[in-house]
Amino acid sequence: MGITIRILFGAFNAAIALVWLLVFGYILALALAAALKKKVISPSPLWPGIAIVVPTLNEEALILDKLDDLRKIDYPKDRIEIVVVDGGSTDLTADLVQDEIDKGNPIRLVRLDGIRNKVEQVNRVMGILSQDILAFTDADVRLEPSCIRRLVELLTGDPRLAIAGASIVPKTPLVEERIHWKLVNFLWWLEGEVFASAGFSGVCYAVRRKSIAPIPPEALTEDISLALAARARGWRVRICPSARATELRVPKTAKDLLEYRRRRGSGYLVELLRARPRRSSPIPWRLARWVRIGQFCLLPWTAVFATALAGILVFTGYRLNVLLALGLFFVSAFSLVFFLNRHEGNSAGRLNLGPATLRFGILTLVSLLTLSRHPSLQVPRGGKP
């Protein structure tokens, strides 16, 4: 019996260490590497002509406010073409845009026949616009005035940069959703600084058009597909922390958050599995891809295994060791969240971060454990996901 307990304790230590390394060890290693890396940014003194593209589908409640939002950006107005790409709206979206054009507002409307998803909208507009830099922003997003300018500065400062993503701020009272985006923004920024292999959110980003290949029509998410494909071809992808975009249509309850993260996570994992490295694909990209696959597939089941072993070992002489190991894990989680939210506006908000971090961890674990049951991860006939 004593030998069995020792084996279980060793397995628990290995499992909890693997989970810690895949989450906090990875972030810590990236943070140290980013701190040591020289940052050289030389933005062009000239403002290139750009197109700001708004993909839409049945956005009549938001489109006029979005157009008003774009008028507030501080990029030189004579260097901007605003393009609304309508994917076959059945409401008044396209008509409202046309009314603005008839009033003399400099907007270009591209109507697509039938119902077209965002992947089709992005592919079509990339084929018809002439500007080298295109900025995409959704109708349900509000931009800080400097957002587009900062994305363009990042692109012009690095000729090998294909995509610059904005930092996302969710407009929600749900603390867990705000924690999620703080962590994701920070992780993507680190991966961009160290590996030049950041993810980014499709709600606001800018691309160098010549670096972007058409998105496969079967892609579930245009942003993840673009990021993986660009980096696999040797281009860089980064996040700009100072380019802030506020997303309005976000989860407002824990149930909404769980379902959204399951759906989004399923799409992310599908694209990771589809992205096959080329012989010329950069090693950092390969490493970042495998770490993310491990975080999606290996981490949640290892966490469940460690939790089950902890439930057994707390009734043995290893109780204190188990509690200390779990305590170290949770202190790491709370410390990271408090660091990222150190500018939280009030003490009540900061005090709520502890319980919210625990709830966020549970929701994230449940969403990862149920990815394989989500329809997005069903394997098509004759092919892989």
Give helix 299-313 / helix 319-340 axis angle, nearest 10°.
Answer: 140
Distance spanning both ends of the chain, measured CA to CA = 44
Q: Which helix (H) or strand (E) covers residue 236, if one does? A: strand 236-247
Structure tokens belonging to residue 74:
């501080």
Please check the confidence at residue 42 and state whether its pLDDT lies above 70: no
Of 182, 288, 309, the closest CA to residue 236 belongs to: 288
User: 309: Cβ–Cβ under 8 A, 6 or more apart, which residues?
Assistant: 8, 9, 11, 12, 15
- Name the band, by pLDDT with cuts 50, 70 and 90, for residue 278: confident
pLDDT digits (tens, 9 = 90+) for 309-349: 999 999 999 999 999 999 999 999 999 998 998 765 554 45
Return the sign of the alpha-carbon dihedral for residues 310, 359, 246, 59: positive
- Name the band, by pLDDT with cuts 50, 70 and 90, for residue 385: very low
Query: In 326-347, which positions are buried (b, 16+ CB within 10 angstroms) versus exposed (e)?
Result: beebeebbeebbeebbeebeee
184: exposed, middle or buried (Cβ count in 10 Å: 0-12, 13-18, 19+) = middle
Q: Which helix (H) or strand (E) covers residue 65, if one does? A: helix 63-71
Of 69, 79, 229, the closest CA to residue 163 belongs to: 229
162-190: average pLDDT = 95
Q: CA-based diameter of the chain, in Å? A: 83
CB atoms within 10 A of CB 305: 17
**Parallel, antiparallel, or unpaired: how do β-strands 80-86 and 50-56 relate?**
parallel
pLDDT computed for residue 347 by the predictor: 47
CA atoms within 13 A on the CB side of 97: 27
- Name the band, by pLDDT with cuts 50, 70 and 90, for residue 372: low
pLDDT digits (tens, 9 = 90+) for 46-72: 799 999 999 999 999 999 999 999 999
Ordered structural domains, the chain, with CATH: 50-256 (3.90.550.10)
Cα–Cα distance for residue pair 120/87, rounded to 1 Å: 8
Name the average pLDDT for the chain: 90
Cα–Cα distance for residue pair 283/195, rounded to 1 Å: 9
Q: DSSP readout, 69-116? A: HHHT--S-GGGEEEEEEE---SSSHHHHHHHHHHTT--EEEEE-SS--
Lowest mean pLDDT: which of 131-140, 147-156, 257-266, 341-350? 341-350
pLDDT computed for residue 354 by the predictor: 83
Whether the Cβ atoms of residue 208 and residue 135 lie closer than 8 Å to each other: no
User: 36: Cβ–Cβ under 8 A, 6 or more apart, which residues?
Assistant: none
Whether the Cβ atoms of residue 148 and residue 73 lie closer than 8 Å to each other: yes
DSSP 368: H
257-271: average pLDDT = 91
pTM of the model: 0.91
pLDDT computed for residue 60 by the predictor: 97
